Amino acid sequence: MNQEQFKNTVFVHKDKLFRFAKRILVDDDEAFDAVQNVMMRLWQGKDKLYQYRNLEAFCMQSIKNEALNRIKKAKVRTDFAEQHQIISTTENSVENTKEIILEMINSLPEKQRLVMHLRDVEDYDIDEIGEVLEMGESAVRVNLMRARQKVKEQLTKLFDYESFRIYSTKK
């Protein structure tokens, strides 16, 4: 595989890889570094890439593994949990809904968060998500349903609380 073929088959996925890595790692710089490392390794093994049936899925799987390895090494997960607590509902307003939803998604368990990101943000099909995350289709569906349910429950509580606050202050 020459440089032009690599650019047209692998490098075109760099933006998706970055978004996926950022979803896992949260930090832009960490995600950028992870994508750079994966691209470098893919370039070094460019002559073996023809053996993969779905090159995009292989790239996504590679970035997932790289990101998870970074989490283990740097303990990013504990830092993230400390720095990005869901903001107390008493301090939020309905105008911050998008930010609140992103915080809720970020607080989900890892598998649910990744499945929800790939399905609802990246618009992957269930079978593609299963291939990327090495999960069965039923497991993907269950994790997606649970993730959406948790976010829905949290939003319902928030909106119920907000409407209670609004109506109680008007009286």
User: What CA dihedral angle connects 158, 116, 113 and 145, to 10 degrees?
Assistant: 70
Per residue in 93-138, pLDDT (tens digit) is: 555 777 777 888 888 898 999 999 899 888 899 999 999 999 999 9
pTM of the model: 0.51
Identify the band that residue 90 occupies on the pLDDT scale cut at 50, 70 and 90.
Answer: very low
27-41, 42-56, 96-110, 151-165: least confident range: 151-165
**113 neighbors 105 (Cβ within 8 angstroms):** yes
**114 neighbors 105 (Cβ within 8 angstroms):** no
pLDDT, position 139: 94
Residue 15 identity (one-letter amino acid): D
Structural domains in the chain? 1-84 (no CATH), 88-171 (1.10.10.10)
